[in-house]
A and B are shown apart, each in its own frame.
Chain A
Amino acid sequence: MRIRALAIRIIRQFVRDKRTLALLFLAPLLILTLMKLVFNGQAVEPQIGTLNMPPQLVDRLEQAGAAIITFREAADAASAIANGSLDAVLTLDAGKPAIQLEGSDPAMNKTVLMLLQRTLQEASPNVQAAVSYLHGSEEMTSFDSFGPVLVGFFSFFFVFMLAGVSFLRERTSGTLERLLATPIRRYEVVAGYLSGFGLFTLLQAALIAWFAIDILGLYMDGSIWLVLLINLLLSLTALTLGTLLSSYAGSEFQIIQFIPLVVVPQVFFSGLFSLEAMTPWLQKLSYAMPLYYGADAMRSIMLRGAGWGSIQTDVYVLLGFSTVFALLNVAALRKHRAI
């Protein structure tokens, strides 16, 4: 009954606080939309200058999607690439094709090289490999690939911040002291917070997942229920971690200081950047990061259509994190009341 009273009070406070509601529900959608727009732009058309190249090769390059400018003089081509209007210059050097890249943009370098490789392969079709996809498809964009991680991350980040700040406010306004002068048990305080916030967390997790999949058209191969489950568990971890850390913060500003310490490192280990490329001991750090498990499960479900069997470890680990943080929170409340 006390847990319910606390949960109802939190819900009432939330409903009256329109700004926080907007931050919780609209901000993640806005950022996801921006992310999609930024990463899903039009396919870029590399500007390639050619010098003395056979016309059929130039045609094939154009068909492959390059904008071709033909030069007669090597000096003209050299000055064009120097002033940045070309991404590459293709010449024949002693009968063999030679390419000079502008080189300042690694993504463009890759695009040009891939395009060139494809065109040259087409010249000898008998060695071309047949391509098939186990997961995903030819149309899959980079947004599709890291979208699942972002969906999990935003659930985590916004809940972490809000939970931390509101629990702290309870302390700085003196209401926690007042609350603890009633016969409420410490676990009831934590459980009340979990259920009051949990409701909004659940709504937020569902909203983010629905928006990313149905509105932004994020690639989705698995069960929406599993996505919701993982999203909810991530938010729950954020909720318990946020309230726990707020016990060690003296002001709202100090909660913000936890973000570079606690949230940003998790992003590095969440799979947005390749973990395989890291030094082995550094890779092991990822095992201590809740977001790593959440992101791993989200990717497995959404990109590889994984079922319960292959994500259950992630589920248990996330549940474990939440439980440990909640228990530590109950213990930390002892700082404020002797019993």
Chain B
Amino acid sequence: MTLPPHVEPASPQLPVVELNEITRIFGKRSILESVSLRVEQGELFGLLGPSGSGKTTLIKVITGIDRADRGTVRMLGTPMPQLRMLQRFGYMAQSDALYSELTAKQNLLFFASLYGLSGARRKKRIEESMAVVDLLDHLDKPVSAYSGGMRRRLSLAIALLHEPALLVLDEPTVGIDPVLRQSIWKELLAMRSRGTTIILTTHVMDEADKCDRLGLIRDGRLTAIDTPEALKAKTGSTSIEDAFIVLGGGVRA
């Protein structure tokens, strides 16, 4: 497969994200404990865990929005946090961080400018991103008139604006109906096949099956990292859900 021109050529041996013994403590409680993982080029990597398990904190540490108390984080070989690395990934937060008074186009213009896009290229990228999420006909509507699903898709479009080689998505399909969820997954898989690395969090088990590799996270610890098939085989279970319960110790905290 040939990479499309926008994907940054990076040496294949360099992992996109590399975490080494990450610990994050809030007050006296450690939210993350000794988390180590590598995400390779072109992978669709899923972080699976119940709410409150530390997924969002891990995402923030990976992106450099938050800083780890112990351990090292590298993105494309660069130690994090690093301001210029914020340009290298597209981010979709758990909440739809949109300005609802403004139109979709005004939201896109704003974020595109923050990523340094301007002029004809900005216009082109706005149209391309909105085409990906199938919202091109709703560009001039105020976001307050958008449905929940449309907002989620607009958030995704914003993450795609600057053609990042890495997408970091925090619960991209939460609160979305099954039809729309399928269409978002279709897009994610298409982007992966174009060479984009994707890291996402989820607590929906059947979504986990679609990832190349999974990290199971429980109470701030990574209990296992492997492909969905290997996880199922290792635990002798037929579903990711069963595998998750076996690996998590079988008891819910």
Contacts and interface: CB of A to CB of B under 8 A. Distances in A.
Interface of A: 1-2, 4-6, 8-9, 12-13, 16-17, 173-175, 177-185, 336-339
A336 B98 CA distance: 18
Interface string B88-122: 00010111111101100010011101111010000
A336 B101 CA distance: 24
B114 A183 contact: yes
A9 B99 contact: yes
Interface residues of B, number: 31
A178 B91 contact: yes
A339 B114 contact: no
Contacts of A9: 99, 102, 106, 110
A5 B83 contact: no
A13 B99 CA distance: 8
Interface in B77-91: 81-84, 86-87, 91
Given A175-B99, A177-B97, A336-B65, 15 more contacts: A1-B113, A1-B116, A6-B110, A6-B114, A8-B110, A9-B106, A12-B102, A13-B99, A17-B101, A174-B94, A174-B96, A177-B65, A178-B91, A338-B66, A339-B64
A182 B115 contact: yes
A5 B110 contact: yes
Interface string B29-73: 000000000000000000000000000000000011111000000
A177 B67 contact: no
Given A338-B65, A339-B82, A182 B114 contact: yes
B114 A5 contact: yes
A183 B99 contact: no
A13 B102 contact: yes
B63 A181 contact: yes
Contacts of B93: 174, 177-178, 181
Contacts of B110: 5-6, 8-9
Interface in B127-156: 142
Contact of A183 (B86, B97, B101): B86
B30 to A, nearest CB: 17
A177 B65 CA distance: 8
Contacts, number: 78
3 nearest A-B residue pairs (beta carbon): A178-B97, A5-B113, A338-B67
Contacts of A337: 65-66, 81
Nearest to B98: A175
A339 B83 contact: yes
A4 B115 CA distance: 13
A8 B113 CA distance: 11
Contact of B86 (A5, A12, A16, A182): A182
Nearest to B83: A339
A6 to B, nearest CB: 8
A175 B97 contact: yes
B212 to A, nearest CB: 24
A162 to B, nearest CB: 14
Contacts of B66: 337-338
Contacts of B95: 173-174
Contacts of B98: 175
A184 B114 contact: yes
Given A177-B93, A339-B83, A13 B115 contact: no
5 contacts: A5-B114, A9-B106, A182-B86, A338-B67, A339-B64
Nearest to B90: A181
A9 B99 CA distance: 9
Contacts of A16: 101-102, 142
A13 B87 CA distance: 25
A9 B110 CA distance: 7
Contacts of B97: 173-175, 177-179
A183 B87 CA distance: 6
A219 B63 CA distance: 58
A27 B26 CA distance: 44
Contacts of A175: 97-99
Contact of B111 (A1, A17, A182): A182
A337 B91 CA distance: 14
Contacts of B113: 1-2, 4-5
A11 B106 CA distance: 12
Contacts of B87: 183
Contacts of B81: 337-339
B106 A12 contact: yes
Contacts of B106: 9, 12
A174 B60 CA distance: 14
A200 to B, nearest CB: 15
A184 B111 CA distance: 10
